[in-house]
Amino acid sequence: MATLALMAMVACGGKGSATKLSGTAPEGETLVVKIGDPKDGEEIAIPAGDFTVSIPTDKNTAVYILASDKSFAGPFVADGSKLTLVQDGETYVVTSDSPESLTSKLKAYKESINQLTSDFYKKISENKDITEEETNKLADEIEAKMTDLSKKLYEENKDNYLGKEAVMDLFYSLKPEELEAMISGLAPEVAADEDIKKVSESLAAQKATAEGAKFTDFEVEQPDGTKAKLSDYVGQGKYMLVDFWASWCGPCRAEIPNIKDVYEKYHGEDFDVLSVAVWDKVEDTQKALEEEQLPWPQILNGQKVPTDIYGINGIPHIILFGPDGTILHRELRGKAIDETVGKYIKK
């Protein structure tokens, strides 16, 4: 009975069994296995030369190989299938002997996503006369295909790391209610992952600050030691366009001309603009402000405070607030900024 139980555990790749990783580590190179987190995860040393190491089998946790030259392999999954570390040029790759292993499935999924991205940029580069409208249409088509791939991965892997990977990849594509439904469908041990918990927290913040809700205030210290609040500007009787941005963010800087156009067109007693710098060094923000010459008010040094409150996961994130502080529209970009503001401010 005990022998049969042990055989079943190994065959199913349950916790307590070991996954074998083999390969050849070059002389002079230091390789280590990192379990769960590339920085702080449990570490297993890989000896130089031909090696075989045992990794605890766990289908819910990502594993990485880190090299002393800062290259790495992963993520992969130690699900009980035989794994091999190979060198591919200057990088390392972990492969599985089974096409049904989670590592093989993850590799195939990533390759499909990368191929779609490559196809998109190839079509753009080959058609130099492509219009912005055509580019956006093509981008939407590619994103839809990626979303389908991620949803398929999720449906087939709700009980392991690949299900988590799918949810994380869909974070920016789906509505909060769709993501919440997917998270609720994950196996409890997968849903308990720290990254999934952070997604749930972000979704809760987005729901609390959704369009139609009153604004949530925040306060951050400014470089001169004073305090700045969102309520110093929002809810003061004007429509406020608030741009959450960072100096290093290319798309953020690209939106500034659009915001300037809207400011010049509508600025007055009924409308104003506010920029809130997040995830940025104060000195870098100040340098960018000198370069951009923005005529409207600024809140510096926001860091994660505003983005955690509003569930902002990518920037620029531009929100239009009503005179009483009601959130009217979120995630405005490009031409939609002018079109949306123009519905409320008549010039």
Residues 331 and 229 in one domain: yes
Residues 328 and 233 in one domain: yes
> Can you state the angle between helices 132-156 and 161-169, rounded to 10 degrees?
160
What are the pLDDT digits (tens) for 176-210? 899 999 999 999 999 999 999 999 999 999 999 99
The residue segments making up the domain with residue 173 are 103-208
Would you state the pLDDT for residue 69? 66
Would you state the pLDDT for residue 85? 92
pTM, entire model: 0.77
Residues 60 and 108 in one domain: no
* Residue 347: inside a domain: no
Would you state the pLDDT for residue 226? 97
Q: Both tokens of residue 89?
A: 């040029």
Say how many domains are in the chain: 3
How far is 35 from 168, CA to CA, in rounded Å?
19
Residues 326 and 226 in one domain: yes
**Cβ-contact 144, 150 below 8 angstroms:** no
Residues 325 and 226 in one domain: yes
* Residue 18, domain CATH: 2.60.40
Would you state the pLDDT for residue 209? 96
* pLDDT at 16 exceeding the cut of 80: no
pLDDT band with cut points at 50, 70 and 90 for residue 283: very high
Residues 75 and 162 in one domain: no
Would you state the pLDDT for residue 6? 29
- Please state, rounded to an integer, the average pLDDT across all residues of the chain: 91
* Residue 22: inside a domain: yes
Q: What is the mean pLDDT of residues 46-62?
A: 94
* pLDDT at 158 exceeding the cut of 60: yes
* Residue 236: inside a domain: yes
The share of the chain scoring above pLDDT 70, in percent, equals: 95
The share of the chain scoring above pLDDT 90, in percent, equals: 80
- 273: number of Cβ within 10 Å: 24
pLDDT band with cut points at 50, 70 and 90 for residue 249: very high
Q: Both tokens of residue 272?
A: 């104003």
Would you state the pLDDT for residue 128? 84
Return the HEC string of the chain. CHHHHHHHHHHHCCECEEEEEEEEECCCCCEEEEECCCCCCEEEEECCEEEEEEEECCCCCEEEEEECCCCEEEEEECCCCCEEEEEECCEEEEEECCCCCHHHHHHHHHHHHHHHHHHHHHHHHHCCCCCHHHHHHHHHHHHHHHHHHHHHHHHHCCCCHHHHHHHHHCCCCCCHHHHHHHHHHCCHHHHCCHHHHHHHHHHHHHHHCCCCCECCCCEEECCCCCEEEHHHCCCCCCEEEEEEECCCCHHHHHHHHHHHHHHHHHCCCCEEEEEEECCCCHHHHHHHHHHHCCCCCEECCCCCHHHHHHCCCCCCEEEEECCCCEEEECCCCCHHHHHHHHCCCCC
Residues 156 and 225 in one domain: no
Residues 109 and 91 in one domain: no
Q: What is the mean pLDDT of residues 146-161?
A: 97
Residues 234 and 289 in one domain: yes
Would you state the pLDDT for residue 235? 97
Residues 223 and 171 in one domain: no
Question: β-strand 239-245 against 317-321: which pairing, if any?
Answer: antiparallel
Q: Domain end: 176, 208, 240, which one?
A: 208
Would you state the pLDDT for residue 74? 86
Would you state the pLDDT for residue 72? 80
Residues 227 and 326 in one domain: yes
CA 251, 256, 258, 259 torsion: positive or negative? positive
* Residue 142: inside a domain: yes
**Residue 278 phi, psi dihedral angles, 5° rounding:** -130, 160
Between 23-27, 117-121, 287-291, the lowest mean confidence (pLDDT) is in: 23-27
* Distances in whole angstroms, Cα of residue 241 to Cα of each of 59, 234, 253, 261, 276: 46, 9, 16, 12, 11
How far is 136 from 130, CA to CA, in rounded Å?
10
What are the pLDDT digits (tens) for 81-117? 999 998 877 788 999 989 999 999 999 999 999 999 9
Q: What is the mean pLDDT of residues 308-318?
A: 95
* Residue 335, domain CATH: 3.40.30.10
Q: What is the mean pLDDT of residues 220-234?
A: 97
Residues 252 and 323 in one domain: yes
